[in-house]
Chain A
Amino acid sequence: MARSALRHPGRAVLNPLRSEEEAFRFLLYVIAVIVVIIGVVLLLRAAL
């Protein structure tokens, strides 16, 4: 896996501590996950 990441630097695993750009990309993923969680919770609350 590490060798594959070295051979294909564009496909390296996201590391939010490596650079600001990756930290920002990680934040966008966190926002997406949080939005989904809040949406599911609100839907469940409305349904119950």
Chain B
Amino acid sequence: MEAASIAHAGAHGDNHGPPEANRSSRVEAPLLGMLLFIISEVMVFGSFFTAYFFIRVAAGAPWPAPGDHLPVEVAGVNTAILVSSSFTMHWAQHSIKNGNRFGLKAGMLTTFLLGATFLFIQLNEYANIGFAPQDNAQATVFYSLTGLHGAHVFIGLLLLLFVTIRSFRGHYSPEQYRGVEVPGIYWHFVDAMWLVVYTTVYIL
């Protein structure tokens, strides 16, 4: 019995720690987690878009409410800032894959700063827009949709900050860059979601 267990432990190399978790999916666990997370996020945004389209299409209410004005141009510049942050994120990822540490650090820092600029302009817009969430249904939906997205940008900025600090501390390599890749996927998702929010809320 004892000989059998020793042989079993020997077959697996090391018998310390818990047994390896069973994996039923071919997708790696961190990517699978991000996949499920983003699917749930799409559903959350979907519920808010439902409220938006209900007001505009089903109820036929004017958008924005009479007397309110949306700063389309400022938000357009802000959109360009956020889109450019995805390009710098891609540059950072591409750099570390090719062993370019300067590109990683510069790309991550620029991405973080562009994202922070986007959030700052968004908050400044809230302060000067001239209507509050409780004023009417349109205002509620406006703040809900843009605020929900802003919360995602804030979470993304925290992730980017961790990656930036780690990259300046010498972490990541051409073989190990998953820590850059997963936040990158999240950041591109946040960016794509903003394009949809901007188009529906400000343009259409």
**Taking beta carbons and an 8 Å cutoff, which residues of A are in contact with B?**
16-21, 23-24, 26-27, 30-31, 34, 37-38, 41
A21 and B181 alpha carbons, distance in the complex (Å): 9
Please tell me which one of the listed residues B90, B180, B185, B195 contacts residue A16 in the complex, with CB atoms under 8 A apart: B185
A37 and B203 alpha carbons, distance in the complex (Å): 10
Please tell me which one of the listed residues A18, A20, A41 contacts residue B188 in the complex, with CB atoms under 8 A apart: A20
| List of A residues within 8 angstroms of B31 by Cβ | 17-18
**Taking beta carbons and an 8 Å cutoff, which residues of B are in contact with A?**
31, 34-35, 38, 83, 86, 89-90, 93, 180-181, 184-185, 188-189, 191-192, 195-196, 199, 203-204
Contact B181 A20 (CB under 8 A): yes
- Ranked nearest first, the 8 interchain pairs of A and B with the lowest CB-CB distance are A20-B184, A23-B188, A17-B35, A23-B185, A24-B90, A20-B181, A30-B192, A20-B93
